[in-house]
């Protein structure tokens, strides 16, 4: 599956120095850990275990489901501290389907809301497999289930999957005027 992800210097260093990157939980925002742990359990349940590490988020590169990520999307994913820490890297990948769990970015926010709004309830999700990799089918706000797997979770990034790496100069002072500009 052709994917792209935004990662910082430690991830890039691990990929090229050690051949693999597995996301440590300490790098995940404290407020999102419950939902990320929930996703890690879903991944393991469907044959893509994270081996005690955090899921790694990617976008599908085919552009079918909303096009490539833009600076606005990146801004929503990265904290002020992460942005101020420096350069991020846009990593383009070609990942074997067996390592991918597909989901929808918009509906993933419903999952986040279940955990970050103070509730302890787990979201109502149904699993489906329309293609060669498992996908989470998340409920839309109208209660219907629609397939739009524009987001993918991985348990790791292997050096052999990397096709291209580009720096992404990202600063808080320029994000507003570049909000809709694609980052790739």
Give residue-wise pLDDT tens across range 92-114: 999 998 999 887 766 677 777 77
Q: Is the separation of the CB atoms in 69 and 55 below 8 Å? A: no
Q: What are 39-92's pLDDT values in tens digits?
A: 898 889 889 999 999 999 888 876 555 556 677 767 766 667 677 776 678 899
Contact assessment for residue 91 and residue 159, using Cβ atoms and an 8 Å cutoff: no
Q: Confidence band (pLDDT; 50, 70, 90) for 141?
A: very low
Sketch the domain layout of the chain as residue ranges.
2-174
What does the pLDDT read at residue 110? 73
Q: pLDDT per residue over 123-133, tens digit each? A: 555 433 334 44
Q: Which residue has the higher pLDDT, 169 or 152?
A: 152
Taking CA atoms, 139 is separated from 32, 41, 113, 145, in Å, by: 20, 19, 13, 5
What are the DSSP calls for 93-148, one per residue?
A: EE--GGG-EEE-HHHHHHHHHHHHTS--PPP--EEE-SSSS-EEEPBPTTS-B---
Mean pLDDT along residues 2-27: 91
Does 134 score more than 80 pLDDT?
no
Is the pLDDT score of 34 beyond 50? yes
Residues ≥6 apart with Cβ < 8 Å to 87: 9, 167, 168, 169, 170
Q: What is the pTM of this model?
A: 0.77
| Predicted confidence (pLDDT) at residue 183 exceeds the cutoff of 80 | no
Q: What is the pLDDT of residue 157?
A: 98
The model's confidence at residue 139, banded by pLDDT at 50, 70 and 90, is very low
Whether the pLDDT of residue 144 is over 50: the answer is no
Q: What letter would DSSP give residue 155?
A: S
């Amino acid at each position: 599956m052709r994917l792209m992800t935004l990662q910082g210097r430690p991830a890039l260093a691990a990929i090229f120095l050690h051949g693999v990157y597995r996301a440590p939980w300490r790098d995940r925002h404290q407020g999102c850990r419950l939902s990320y742990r929930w996703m890690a359990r879903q991944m393991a349940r469907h044959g893509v275990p994270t081996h005690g590490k955090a899921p790694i988020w990617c976008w599908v590169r085919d552009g079918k489901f909303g096009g490539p990520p833009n600076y606005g999307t990146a801004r929503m994913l990265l904290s002020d501290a992460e942005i101020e820490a420096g350069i991020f890297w846009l990593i383009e990948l070609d990942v074997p389907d067996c390592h991918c769990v597909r989901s929808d970015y918009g509906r993933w926010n419903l999952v986040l809301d279940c955990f970050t709004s103070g509730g302890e309830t787990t979201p109502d999700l149904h699993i489906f497999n329309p293609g060669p990799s498992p996908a989470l089918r998340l409920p839309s706000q109208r209660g219907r289930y629609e397939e739009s797997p524009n987001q993918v979770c991985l348990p790791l990034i292997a050096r052999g999957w990397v096709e291209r790496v580009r720096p992404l100069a990202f600063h808080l002072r320029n994000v507003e005027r570049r909000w809709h500009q694609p980052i790739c």
